[in-house]
Structure 1
Amino acid sequence: MTSSPLLAQISLLMNEKIPFHKLIGLEVTRFASDISEVQFKWKEELIGNAPQGILHGGVLATALDMCGGLVAIASVIETMDHSAQPHEVIERISRCGTIDLRVDYVRPGRGETFITTAHIIRSGNKVAVARMELHNQEGMLIAFGTGTYMVG
């Protein structure tokens, strides 16, 4: 679910053109400035603790970071002048990147589907801060995080 054709194009880019995201199976399911959502399915290749059969912490961190970055990008696009040309928007968001990421692991990564959501805490001209949560399909909180993103 996106709020504009441009956000839809960026969602497609994130889903299809970033090899690492594809490898993990991350899928943008909502991309908006109020809340963004990324989902992925359990697969054996993502195990980080074989004896316990739980997800690798890096997979969880990647999903949280992607989702936080998406909501930061959406907030930048929302504040841009509506007369901005698509190439200007792409140029601006191509400079976006993670400055800092904090992840707190609450429970082992178990489930069939994992849903990450993010919302903006603060968005300025240069930096945006997002809060992210990752739950399984039963709504159990597995990890949460805070991301700081360069947006300008």
Structure 2
Amino acid sequence: MTLQKQELQRFITDFFNQHMPFNQLLGLSVSHLDNFQAEIRLDWQDKLMGNPVHKILHGGVTAAILDTVGSVAALLYGIEQLDSEDAVKLFYEQLPYGGTLDMRVDYLRPGKGKHFIASAQVIRRGNKVAVCRMDLHNEEQLHIATGTATYII
């Protein structure tokens, strides 16, 4: 990987960890990146509870972490495809215009746990869009939710 691509990965990590107030509010942290996959971690906080009787993670938080990890994976895949200085420059310029076009979440189990790990991988990429598959597990590797999303990149 070129130095520029490594710098872009650091930029993406810093952007999602330090410059997105909603991610900070939830406590999301990009924890692992490679060319085709991303991982985000979330520690349990009572303020993220959707069901206080059973202490279950709110469904909106589940959807948010899946959407975020999918977005990171789509961006990483886009970075890997860059093949020139001009392409890198264009990537920086176009970054603010990316976003989620469509997302589906399947809630498989109640969101119980102390720590949550969301992972995503790109399953299809075109010139302007990427399709990602995302999964959310707790610290015991229980599969809590899965999702598929399409991102404009």
| AA aligned opposite 1:28 | V
- TM-score of the pair, normalised by structure 2: 0.92
Judge conservation of contact 1:33–1:120 (CA < 8 Å) in 2. Answer: no
Unaligned 5+ segments in structure 1 are none
Look up the match of 1:43. 45
| AA aligned opposite 1:42 | W
What are the superposed Cα offsets for residues 24-45 of structure 1, whole Å, 9 maximum, x if unpaired?
Answer: 0000011233210000100000
Look up the match of 1:16. 18
SS in 2 for 1:81: coil
Look up the match of 1:96. 98
CA distance in 2, matches of 1:84, 1:36: 25
CA distance in 1, matches of 2:104, 2:123: 14
Please give the root-mean-square deviation of Cα atoms over the aligned residues, in Å: 1.4
Look up the match of 2:75. 73
After TM superposition, what 4+ stretches of structure 1 lie above 4 angstroms from structure 2?
none
SS in 2 for 1:76: helix
Judge conservation of contact 1:33–1:119 (CA < 8 Å) in 2. Answer: no
Judge conservation of contact 2:82–2:88 (CA < 8 Å) in 1. Answer: no
Greater helix share, structure number: 2
What are the superposed Cα offsets for residues 82-115 of structure 1, whole Å, 9 maximum, x if unpaired?
Answer: 3237543221222210000100000000111100
1:124 and 2:126 matched: yes
- The alignment covers a number of residue pairs equal to 149
| AA aligned opposite 2:136 | L
- TM-score of the pair, normalised by structure 1: 0.93
| AA aligned opposite 1:26 | L
| AA aligned opposite 2:119 | T
Between the aligned residues of both structures, percent identity stands at 42
